[in-house]
Each structure stands twice: as C-alpha cells, then as structure tokens.
Amino acid sequence: MFEDLLRQWDGEEAVIRFDEPSGAWMFVCVHSTALGPAGGGTRMRVYDRPADGLADAMRLSQAMTVKMAVANADRGGGKAVLAVPELPTGDARRTLLLRYGELVASLGGTYRTAGDMNISPADLDVVRERCPWVYGTTGAGGNSGRGTAIGVLSGIRASVEQVFGSADLGGRTVLVQGAGSVGHDLALFLAAEGAEVLVSDVDEERAAVAGGAVVAAGDAFTTKCDVYAPCAVGGTLNADSIPQLRCRIVAGSANNQLATPEDAQRLHDRGILYAPDYVINAGGVIQLLGLEDHGWDEHELDRNLATIGDTLRQLFRTADAGGITPAAAAERVAAERIAARRAAARA
C-alpha cells in the first residue's frame, strides 16, 4: 500500500501506525533534521485511501523543511496526519489523541508538533498529556491562526507592491478562498486596510460571517480579482484550474496549494505572481517558536511577522534576476542553508 510512496520520498523517517480501536492511520513524516528537530503541525482528515494521508504528510513535511529554512528557524521539517474514517468527538477523540501523543513522544523529540487542519489548541492540550514536544496548546502559544493571517497580510502587501508598484491595499480586490480561522482573520485585516474583500467558502454562512461580498464556491477560480488568496485545502491549483484564474497574484495561507511542482511555472507563464505558500504562511511557525521558545512579547512578535513581506520581496528579486519562479528561488535558498549547515557540521 505504501511501498511506492516511501521509495519515491527523499525524507529521513516515516512512522506509520494503525490505530485499531479508532480505525485511524497515524503518519509521522520527518523530512529533514539538518537545521534542527523537525517541526510541523498535525492534521486530522478523512481521506479516500490511507495512502492519500501518507502522501499528504510527505508533501507537507517537505514544504515544512523549506518553510523553516527560509524563515531562518532552527528547525527541520516534519508533518503528521491522522487519517480517520470519520472525525471523532468526545471520548473517542480524546483517546485517539492520547495514543497519538504516545507515538510522538516515542520519537524522543525528533519531531515536534503543533496544530493543523481539524486540530485545535484544546486537542493539543490532550496530546501534551502524553508528549512534551507540543506547541500551540491553550496555555502557551495558543492558536497560531492569527499569526498566520498577519504574516499572509504582510506577504500580500509585498506581492501587490511587486505587481502594481505600491503596497497600498486600498481599492485592491482580494478573494479569500476559505473562511476558516486564518481566512476569517485575513478577511477582516484586509477590509481594515481598505481592500475590497470577496469571500468564498463551501459553507456560505461561514463566508458571510467573515465579511465582504460572498462568492459561490464554484465561482472562486473564475471571479475577477487582483489577489486570489487560497486559505483552505491544498492541491487546488493545477493544470485545469490555473487557466480559469482571473487574478494577477496568488497569495494565501493554504498548505500545498500547487497540485504539482510544475504548476508554479504554469502560473508564471500566465503572468500570475505566486507567493510560495510555505513562505507566506510561516506566521504560525514564527508565532509559536517566538512566544514559546524565545519569550517574545506581542511587539516583538508583530515585528518578526512583518519580515515575511521582506522575505518575499527578496525572493521576487532573486526570481526576476535569475529568470526563475519564486518557488524555485525559495527552494534554492532552503537548499543553500541546509547545505551550509551540513558542511559546518562536518567541519
């Protein structure tokens, strides 16, 4: 079931466990520890096949390696997926999370987790009962969604400046696709800066709560806007959807927005600036590491979140100078930093 995926993956370690009482598959993928212990969130999701959950964890862990390297965090990349037959509640959820905490604890700190899709700070409190390597609990770094949204806002400013010559969002039309915790906050921040905000979600009531004009989920790709901000599930930008886009910029919080690496070039060929997701959505990582490891106050946190825009500006310059996509520029930066750390370790 999993052999072909494991053979094709370039990561360091994949831990697979079937949790018979719940019917869930637990996947923990450690892609790289070259820059430090692997960090990355845990997502809980229903997949068509268990192998799809493993593939998701592998892709996300590689993206976390690049995210950590570009953000200059002393962490490697990892990710965990709980592939469940249905989203559990009550005692069933608690016992699954406790057993998952035991699995992460057994890795001895090689992988350090936080929240992701369908995992809340309260869920992480439960994991923390069995595992010391947990970020984002209710009593510590808290919900990282706000930090992610602030970082994405900074990245959208930088992207708008690159395309239109000014970072001013006043009058710019931004379509926020996905009105979950990050998308909701992002929509509010954008409106406060004078942007014309459009919100699309499979749950139109949730979209309406985020403010702005509601766009039907089926019309998100084809709605004209300056910035398309994917903030829901990944893999939605592909050979079929990219030709439908009517935007100048793609800049949002969703992980793994591109279905394949080649989709970065497809966006480029259409004249659409892509802010690599693992760069623009690093605010959650910055928040948790800053508050829990470095003891930052809110002022220091906000100052560091703003650097996401500066990082993107540099990547856009590098991409332009080298005739490559911003995604390729980000991966080059990550590879150089990882290679430098490995060389230093051998010296």
The set of catalytic residues is: 79
- Phi/psi for 17 (5° steps) reads -140, 135
* Nearest partner of 36 among 75, 5, 66, judged by Cα: 75
Mode of pairing for the β-strands spanning 111-115 and 173-177: unpaired
321: Cα within 13 Å, side-chain hemisphere: 7
* Nearest partner of 290 among 151, 154, 159, 181, judged by Cα: 151
Give burial (CB, 10 Å; 0-12/13-18/19+) of 170: exposed
* Nearest partner of 63 among 88, 34, 39, 44, judged by Cα: 39
Residue 77 near residue 32, CB atoms below 8 Å: yes
CA distance 300 to 302: 6
Instruction: State which H helix or E strand residue 27 sits in.
Output: strand 24-32
- Provide the token pair at 70: 């570009």
- Residue for token pair 């989709």: 263
CA distance 183 to 230: 8
Q: Sign of dihedral through CA atoms 230, 227, 320, 314?
A: negative
* Nearest partner of 249 among 313, 159, 321, judged by Cα: 159
CA 129 to chain centre: 25
* Nearest partner of 136 among 152, 117, 120, judged by Cα: 120
